[in-house]
Structure 1
Amino acid sequence: MKIDATSIALILSILSPIITSFMNNKHQLKMHDLNFYQAHRAEVLEHYISATGKAITYHSSQNTGNYNEAYGEVLIYINDKILDKVQKLNILINNSSYDSYIRAKAVSIFDEICVFLRNDLPRKPSK
């Protein structure tokens, strides 16, 4: 069987759309996974911020319980640069002798965490 330019062109014309379609689908799947991850990460961080604010402001067993749940989940999504502060804040919030001094320290660390997370979250492009 003799292979000439026409045969090669025919084979390429058949394979090219198949390969292009496969590559596009693979890329779209990666983008979907990335978008899902980013959206879920933002949701987890927002829940952590809300639960932490309540636990610091209204220190009760229910708020601390909600905070601890959010803390466990946020550890998966936070940047290593802020991990130390999040862990220090966790120790303060779960301190059995929570008082106004501990609360003031917790608020200070919480403010730093919020500023960091604000800068770390992806932003929607402005129109």
Structure 2
Amino acid sequence: MHELAIVQSLLAIIEEEMAKQENKRLLTVKVKHGRLSAVVPEALEMGFETMTMDTAIAGAKLVLEETPVVLRCRACGREFTPEVPSAAFAPCPACGEELGHTVLSGRELYIEYLELE
């Protein structure tokens, strides 16, 4: 379950930012994750809740937003979202090219914002 490692990294970033801002309480953290990032939202939520229990971050709300896969066809350049979210095999709706597309979005994993008090 790599979500626990992700939560550890998120918490390190959050704690560093809280120290910079001299804020004492985290209300909300919003995390964007791409559909190809292999994040299981329920596991991430459970890991966040478990790892923040009995800490200064306990009770903070974790908001997750999944970003779709967007590809650019290597043959014709059209940008599209495949019906089945896979970067390995996705026919271009314009020209039919199946392989070699550039992934424009869908792999991201980052903190979009922190709401501090």
- Fold match, TM over 0.5? no
Query: How high is the TM-score relative to the length of structure 1?
Result: 0.25
Q: Which has the higher contact order (CA 8 A, sep 6+)?
A: 2
Larger helix fraction of residues: 1
Larger strand fraction of residues: 2
Flag the structure with larger Rg.
1
Query: How high is the TM-score relative to the length of structure 2?
Result: 0.26
